[in-house]
Amino acid sequence: ETAAVVLNAFREAAYDEPDLATVGDRLERALDRHLLGEKFVTAVLAEVRERDRAVLLNYGHPAPLVIRPDGTVHYAEPPDRALPLGL
């Protein structure tokens, strides 16, 4: 049930909102309405703006790996890390 809430809220917010941070805010509000007890969700929201640039928002999730065209791999550590959604 929690996954369905998150996915549906994301689809709706991503369609309506031009700003990734606002999408995250809407996910937080949706989870506030639906989560009971001590449930929470970790997530990484990503917006690919150009071929080699992306914006990441990390909500308590391990950093994603980035594989560059030359084969090098590194963690995409956002400058700020927020609490998981629902906390």
Query: Taking 70 as the threshold, does the pLDDT of residue 3 lie above it?
Result: yes
Q: What is the CA radius of gyration of the chain?
A: 14
Say if strands 81-82 and 43-50 run parallel, antiparallel, or are unpaired: unpaired
- CA nearest to 20, candidates 52, 53, 45, 54: 45
Q: Rounded distance, CA 40 to CA 20, Å?
A: 20
pLDDT at 23: 95
Query: Taking 90 as the threshold, does the pLDDT of residue 70 lie above it?
Result: yes
Structure tokens at 54: 């992306």
Average pLDDT over residues 22-30: 92
Query: Taking 70 as the threshold, does the pLDDT of residue 42 lie above it?
Result: yes
